[in-house]
């Protein structure tokens, strides 16, 4: 299997490292153009800055290509900025998103960098909690009927799934725990 990691900007190398650490590692491809995207069967959108990535996705035709592949059923997972990019709406801002998850997100929901934190997060799809690394993290403030909540932290929605599209507020790629990467390559 070929798993693509969107390499426009952000911590894409960390995701590639996590994928390579799996017991049965898939082939990984850095995705920067629609041609790169055509080669992969799954896509991860990493952490980074959503305004930067949104601008560049639109400028080079990658946004349309991702939306087409998603409509055809390709699994996509967004972490932090990636989840913002997948959302329908960003609270209080008129910024570009892919609109593939029926959710509204709040950016920097916990405040500036001094409020970034780590905490265990229980997920409905895993038996043991994951180590949640929250860095200027977003939360989900509204979600549609088709959206399944996979995890909450302090009552706030921090992981969701809608069909083959997955979003998490936190960064499993910054930890040694690869269970979510394992899960993403199998569902």
The SS3 of residue 127 is: coil
The residue among 60 and 183 lying less far from other proteins, judged by its C-beta, is: 60
- The residues, any chain, with a CB within 8 Å of residue 114's CB and separated by 6 or more, are none
Give the residue among 40, 109, 26, 104 at the shortest CA–CA distance from 70.
40
Give the HSE-up count for residue 172: Cα atoms under 13 Å, Cβ half-sphere. 27
Active-site residue, 41 included: no
Catalytic residue check, 173: yes
Q: Does 149 bind other proteins (CB under 8 A)?
A: no
Instruction: Given the residues 27, 80, 131, 181, select the one marked as catalytic.
Output: 80
Q: 41, 148, 171, 181: which is the annotated catalytic residue?
A: 171
Alpha-carbon distance of 66 to 174, in angstroms, equals 25
| Nearest 10 degrees: Cα torsion 82, 133, 107, 113 | -130
- Given candidates 5, 29, 80, 109, which one binds other proteins under the rule CB under 8 A? 80
- Residue 126 sits in the site that holds other proteins (CB under 8 A): no
Q: Which of 49, 173, 181, 182 is catalytic?
A: 173
Kindly list the catalytic residues: 80, 171, 173
Q: Which residues bind other proteins (CB under 8 A)?
A: 7-14, 32, 47-49, 51-52, 55-56, 59, 80-81, 93, 107-108, 111-120, 131, 133, 135-136, 171, 174-175
């Amino acid at each position: 299997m070929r798993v693509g990691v969107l390499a426009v900007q952000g911590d894409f190398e960390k995701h590639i490292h996590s994928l390579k650490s799996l017991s049965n590692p898939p082939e990984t491809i850095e995705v920067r153009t629609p041609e790169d995207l055509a080669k992969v069967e799954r896509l991860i959108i990493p952490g980074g800055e959503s305004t930067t990535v949104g601008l560049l996705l639109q400028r080079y035709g990658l946004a349309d290509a991702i939306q087409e592949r998603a409509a055809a059923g390709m699994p996509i997972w967004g972490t932090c900025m990636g989840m913002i990019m997948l959302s329908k709406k960003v609270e209080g801002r008129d910024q570009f998103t892919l609109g593939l998850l029926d959710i509204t997100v709040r950016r920097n929901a916990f405040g500036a960098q001094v409020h970034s934190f780590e905490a265990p997060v229980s997920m409905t799809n895993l038996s043991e909690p994951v180590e949640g690394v929250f860095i200027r993290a977003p939360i989900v403030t509204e979600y549609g009927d088709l959206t399944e909540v996979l995890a909450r932290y302090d009552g706030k929605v921090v992981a969701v799934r809608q069909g083959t599209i997955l979003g998490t507020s936190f960064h499993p790629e910054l930890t040694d725990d690869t269970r979510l990467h394992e899960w993403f390559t199998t569902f």
